[in-house]
Amino acid sequence: MLYVKNVPNWERALRILMGAAGLGYAGMNWGVSSLAVGIGVIGAVLAITGLLGFCPMCAMVGRKLDRGY
């Protein structure tokens, strides 16, 4: 494995939900709002980090997943 998961399960679920909401908003307003492109990109990043369980920005600041021991 090339990465170590650094996002807890509750945050992963939240990232997936928020990413799907952002992508849904972007899909509905793509030609109408210029803000939709930015929200779509942010939604895609949130969804991908939620699915993978790894956030590069969290890794850069040294965040580690608490394993409970």
User: 6-51: per-residue pLDDT in tens?
Assistant: 899 999 999 999 999 999 999 999 889 889 999 999 999 999 999 9
Specify the residue for token string 């997943």. Answer: 65
3-class secondary-structure state, position 34:
coil
The reported pTM is: 0.84
Spatial distance between the Cα atoms of 51 and 5, rounded to a whole number of angstroms: 11
